[in-house]
Amino acid sequence: MTRLILALLLRLSPARWRESIAGDFEEDRHRGPGAAWHAARVITRLWIEELSIRRARPRRRFSMHATSVHIRQALRALLMRPAYSLIIITTLAVGIGANAAVFGLANWLMFRPVPAVHEPHRLVTVRLAHPAGGIMTMSHPEMQAMLDHTPALSAMAGAMDAELHAATDTGAAARVEGEIVSANYFDVLGLQPARGAFFSAAHPGVVVSHDYWMTALGAAANIPGATMFVNGHRVPVLAVAPKGFTGATRSATVSLWVPSTLRTVVFPGYRTDPLANMNSGIYISMVGRLANGASIEQARHGLAAAQTAVANVHPRAQRYKVARYAIDEGLSAPAYERERLGRAFSLLLGMGALLLLLTCANVGNVMLAGGTTRRAEVATRQALGASRSQIVAGVLTESALLSLAGGAVALGLAALVNAFMRGTIVLPFLPELGAIAVDARVFAFAFAVSAASAIAAGVLPALTATRIDLIGTLKGSGRSVTSGGLRARRALTIAQVAVSLTLLVGGFLLARSMRERQAINPGFDLAPLMTFSVEPGYHTDDLARRRSFYADVMTRVTAVPGVRSAALGWSRPFGLMADDGMVGAVNGAAASEVPAETFTVGPRYLETMGMPLVAGREFEQSDRPQANQPASTVMLSASLARRLFGSADAAIGRLVQQGFEGSPPLQVIGVAGDARLRRAFEPAPDAIYKPFHTAPSWATVHVKFDGPAEPIAGALREAVRQADPAMPVFDMMTAREAIARQMSEDILIGRLTLAFALIATLLAAVGLYGVLAQAVAERRVEMGIRAALGAGPGRVLRLITGDALRMTATGAIAGVGLSLWLTRYLESRLYGIERFDVLTFAAAILVIVLTSLAAAVIPASRASRVDPVIALRR
């Protein structure tokens, strides 16, 4: 080992010294341990000396002429070998393209400038951050207080995201992403309308996005002047936002902006004027514009003062004891979202870097092979007096040209990859992926990656290119058994195998984890279940009207052919919405209260969900508070029933209490099987089910159906449209899609890892093939002699495949070690599988071994067919 390191170090030492120190190192090695360390120090010292000597010499001027000569020579060399160039460019394009695609996604979500915004560097984002990681709402008067205390901010605007019901006179109603904003919102951002004029006090109305205007409004010419329905209320459309602007945060896809002055109109539930009320939290984020010459630090100071002032006059000052104004530069997403994206992308970019390294190793490999065939050319040049540095510069120029070409192809490829990812992945936090464009930032990234890969790929070939036996090569011998280049290529190939195996292990782990997740049993039937939500609360706060709407929808839905059963509920499966609270047996000890999730569900809920009824009965229409009934009815989950009463049967008829002491008792009429209704990948929680008897603002319809989902979905939409044409259906999905949403981030990461791993394995195979082919070519004579001496084709075949397997085995061992270390970064994403899963490792190794055997087939058969007569005559 020491010997190998010493040999390597020797290569790194200044040429002038190499010969004289070689023997000394060897002597040192015999003397005792630490030789490698000493050698490394010696070489460092020698290089310092060497560089200082060189600097003392008159410096050679950078010559434009020499560079252009290099470029011309490299171009000519590449054009003369189109196949060689194409292979390298394609390989580089894959590596750079995969990185550019991932970066493009990261850029789109995290870094790109928000379009059309004036002087974005002077903008700041202010939020009320809770130390636990969430953010809280702020009121309109609060914004005024911030401005009063913060001279560093010349203007502020508030915004709150809201899903809105949008409809036109002609088109169907749809639920769209909207924002309730202060009237000065567009002015603070410095946007210019594509059409019309933004909000004004005299003419209240809404602003639509350019996309919405083009699609839903049919690019209507009469803006201002046109009208549309927002949450069932007719409002004028004042303006069209500039093209490309879809909200102040990068991941937003807002179609509709409603001024906060119209808030009471589009949300009928509000009676008081929210703009005047210090308590009315109507903004979730604020955009501030820094005054001329003001710094974000000054703004931060001002906000701290504002916070104290607001807390003093704020009747609910309590929340300011923990929450603090947080100010960020530019238009930024909340901290928790940035962190989540950062974690996801650092993993992906890390794998991208591994892949790029592999690509470079591969290209270096091919170039080394090219270097072998080019030896004559290099030798001639050297013989004609080209210095070593000139040869190196030539090789590096070549790799730079190749990398740039690869980068250019990669950008095209990145666009393709993005197109491939469009729609295939449902990511709740992602915009429509089709919108992702290659901008200057991605371009710069691809360029930087290309440059890095040019150096990484070119350095080994450049170094070996100059280490040539001039006389021998010029004489045309080339009979050498193994060249130095081949040794370097072997090392590269082994490294490739190692990294490929690591990526394969990661990809397989994630894929198997995904299958485990898809195979979960949540405690209800996933297969025939579909849910969708409606929100009549947007249109009316008349409870009787809402109730009759829900009843009408349920009647029509139940009548849809293929629907076996339907039930109302408040939240959808895996929708994450539920109330948490304490539940205890009435007259039980206070200590016996346990936390339980609360679900509000209608009749036939258990039947529709396919959840077992363990004891008692399900809710019926009659389960609502009535004057003659002693208590409202509830169902418990089996685990909660056992916890409170010992068994499911014992719970029936008993009374429980939820919430504060003295709250009305609830009578247990049924016990349901335990189910994971919210979080698919965590154990089922204790749960209490309350009857759906009020008329909440919104509700989810659960449908158990037969046959394919598509036609049912259409029929369900139609059923709701018949009940109320202005009522959009939203969040329509099967239960399986709902689970997929919960693991969307893991799906994306899993798919990309697997894709990277397959590319990497392919590259490793190509590298292996290249090495074996070169070895066979260089050992032709040897093979010929072997054949002449009676070695059969089988023997030669074994020789070559054995060589391949030895390299693979070495790489695989290193790869297993690398995997054991690196999979720790996947651990938090794995479900139902250990990161040291033996089967996964075995599968990855098998893939690598089979791939390398496949790569060995052609060179091995070629070697076995060497004709001794022809080989020996050369």
233-240/281-283 β-pairing: unpaired
Taking the least distance from each CB to other proteins, the nearer of 49 and 706 is 49
Burial tier of 45 (Cβ tally within 10 Å: 0-12, 13-18, 19+): exposed
**Min separation Cβ 861 and other proteins, Å:** 40
Which residues are near other proteins by CB under 8 A? 17, 19-24, 26-28, 30, 38, 41-46, 49
Helix (H, G, I), strand (E, B) or coil at 187: helix
Q: Rounded to whole angstroms, how far apart are CA atoms 182 and 160?
A: 9
Q: 230-233, long-range: CB within 8 Å, 24+ apart, which pairs? A: 230/164, 230/165, 230/166, 230/178, 230/206, 230/256, 230/258, 230/266, 231/164, 231/165, 231/266, 231/267, 231/268, 231/538, 231/539, 232/165, 232/167, 232/538, 232/539, 232/540, 232/726, 233/265, 233/266
Nearest to 728 by CA among 165, 342, 254, 198: 165
Distance (Å, whole) CA 259 – CA 182: 6
- Cα-flanking dihedrals φ and ψ of residue 170, to 5°? -105, -40
Complex with other proteins: residue 45 or 422, whichever CB lies closer: 45
Work out how close the CB of 5 gets to other proteins at its nearest, in angstroms, rounded to a whole number: 14
3-state secondary structure of 803: helix
Beta-bridge partner residues of 391:
none
Question: Which residues have a Cβ under 8 Å from the Cβ of 307 and sit 6 or more positions away?
Answer: 320, 324, 325
How far apart are CB 27 and other proteins at their closest, in Å? Answer: 5
- Is 443 exposed, middle or buried, given 0-12, 13-18 or 19+ CB atoms closer than 10 A? middle
To other proteins, the closest distance from the beta carbon of 760 in angstroms equals: 38
Give 37 or 821: the residue with its C-beta nearer to other proteins.
37
> Least separation, in Å, of the C-beta of 463 and other proteins?
21
Q: Quick one: which H or E segment has residue 760? A: helix 744-778
Looking at the Cβ atoms of 24 and 273, the one nearer to other proteins is 24
3-state helix, strand and coil shares in percent for the chain, rounded to the nearest 5: 55, 15, 30
Contact between 223 and 195 (Cβ < 8 Å): yes
Give me the least distance between CB of 778 and other proteins, in Å please.
Answer: 25
Helices (H), 81-127: 82-106
At closest approach, how far in Å is the CB of 15 from other proteins? 13
Show Cβ contacts of residue 527 under 8 Å, excluding neighbours closer than 6 positions: 735, 736
Complex with other proteins: residue 55 or 873, whichever CB lies closer: 55
Cα distance between residue 612 and residue 254, in whole Å = 42
**Residue ranges with strand state E in 264-341:** 281-283, 285-290, 324-329
Shortest CB 58 distance to other proteins, Å: 17
Compute the least distance from the CB of residue 42 to other proteins, in Å: 4
Least separation in angstroms between residue 16's CB and other proteins is 9
CB burial class (10 A; 0-12, 13-18, 19+) of residue 51? Answer: exposed
Residues 737-755, buried b or exposed e (16+ Cβ, 10 A)? ebbbbbbbbbbbbbbbbbb
| 432 φψ region: left (φ > 0), alpha (ψ -120 to 50), beta (else) | beta
Nearer to other proteins, 26 or 516 (CB): 26
Q: Who contacts 273 (Cβ-Cβ below 8 Å, separation ≥6)? A: 264
Q: Which is nearer to other proteins, 10 or 814 (CB)?
A: 10
The nearer residue to other proteins, 23 or 315, going by C-beta atoms, is 23
Q: Which is closer to other proteins, CB of 51 or CB of 471? A: 51
Closer to other proteins at the Cβ: 28 or 745?
28
What dihedral do alpha carbons 132, 138, 143, 149 form, nearest 10°? -40
DSSP secondary-structure letter at 258?
Answer: E
The Cα 516–Cα 824 span in angstroms is 19
Least Cβ distance, residue 67 to other proteins (angstroms)? 33
Given a contact cutoff of 8 angstroms between Cβ atoms, the answer to whether 674 and 597 are in contact is no
CA–CA separation, 38 and 643 (whole Å): 69
The span from the CA of 69 to the CA of 810, in Å, is: 42
Q: Are strands 281-283 and 529-534 parallel, antiparallel or unpaired?
A: unpaired
Q: How far is the CB of 829 from other proteins (least distance, A)?
A: 48
Q: How many residues does the chain have?
A: 874
**Spatial CA neighbour of 186 closest among 176, 177, 199:** 199
Compute the least distance from the CB of residue 80 to other proteins, in Å: 41
Nearer Cβ to other proteins (27/834):
27
User: Measured from the CB of residue 43, what is the shortest distance to other proteins in angstroms?
Assistant: 8
Pick between residue 38 and residue 381 the one whose CB is nearest to other proteins: 38
Residue with smaller CB distance to other proteins, 49 or 432: 49
Which is nearer to other proteins, 44 or 373 (by Cβ)?
44
CB of 480 to other proteins, least distance (A): 20
Find the shortest distance in angstroms from Cβ 29 to other proteins. 8
Give 48 or 322: the residue with its C-beta nearer to other proteins.
48
Are β-strands 563-569 and 699-705 bridged in parallel, bridged antiparallel, or unpaired? Answer: antiparallel
If the CB atoms of residues 38 and 300 are measured against other proteins, the closer one turns out to be 38
Closest distance of CB 31 from other proteins, Å: 8
Question: In the block, which residue shows the tokens 């020789």?
Answer: 799
Which CB, 35 or 282, lies closer to other proteins?
A: 35
8 Å CB contact between 598 and 688:
yes
